[in-house]
Amino acid sequence: MAAFSAMSTQSLSASRPTSTTYAFYRKFLDSSIALKFVSGVIILSLWEAVVRLFAPAYVTTPTGVVRVFPKVIVNPEFLSNALATMEAVIVGLAIAIVLGTVVGLLMGRIKEVRYGLSHYVNSLFTTPMIALLPLLSLWFGHTSETRLVLVVLVAFLSVVVNVSDGARGISEEYLEVARSFRVGKIRTMFDIVLPMLVPHLIAGVRLAAGRALTAAVIADFFLAIPGLGYYILYNSRSFHLNEAFVAVVVLIVAGVGFDRLINWITRRFMPWLRRD
């Protein structure tokens, strides 16, 4: 009897790791992380297989990008180009957020300003910005200042459109309550209007960041100035496609990283704006 009990205890203890491991894998497979991981592996595997079977040897493959990534990411030439593009995006975004918030607020709250500017702002917002590059290059030359102007312009319009819509959509009931308690216009602006604009401003900044990154790369292409766009163009034309794709990966990481940063700031400091 004692021997039977000992054997039962050993069998139970041997089965526990198996059940625990199964539960872990089951939980992993049911998670969104697993779906993202599996789909990514499938896409990269198909990419690798199709290129190896049907494309020339110089075409980019995932394994080729992984092979050259450590060498490229520490290359001084690559770092200087990446710094030039990212600096233009960050500085341009900062300028656009300040100016866009002010102009969008004026357009949303002052009827005369809205009637005077809305037609031009909406027209420029729907205009492909690459069409303006020849004109900007004539004004500012083939320099980094032209790239900065283009980044500010596209980001500014994104912020203005969203902030203006948010300012127009503020409920008049809140403003009526403020007026009934004789709250001054400046305090109403800071206590009611600006807090209610935050969701629209965040949406505008998220849209502006993507457009600013795109504008900076397009300016690098067109103006042939130091930047990630020029690095991609040069290496593509010299058939160093794996090296060029490293710059693409850096741009993707920068875009996703900024979006994650916005989400973290929203969760950390404005949890009432999150619905998930």
Q: Are 189 and 231 in contact (CB under 8 A)?
A: no
Q: How far is the C-alpha of 138 from the C-alpha of 92, rounded, in Å?
A: 20
Does this model's pTM top 0.85? My answer is no
What are the pLDDT tens digits along the chain (276 aa)? 444 444 444 444 444 445 666 565 566 555 567 777 788 888 989 988 988 888 787 788 888 889 999 999 999 999 999 999 999 999 999 999 999 999 998 888 888 888 888 888 888 888 887 888 888 888 888 888 999 999 999 999 999 999 988 888 777 777 778 778 777 777 777 778 888 888 888 888 999 998 999 999 999 988 888 999 999 999 988 888 899 999 999 999 999 999 888 888 888 877 766 655
CATH topology of domain 68-273: MetI-like fold (1.10.3720)
3-state helix, strand, coil split of the chain in percent (to 5) is 85, 0, 15
The rounded Cα 196 to chain-centroid distance in angstroms is 23
Amino acid letter, 267:
R
Please state the φ and ψ torsions of residue 151, each to the nearest 5 degrees.
Answer: -60, -45
**H or E segment to which residue 162 belongs:** helix 144-168
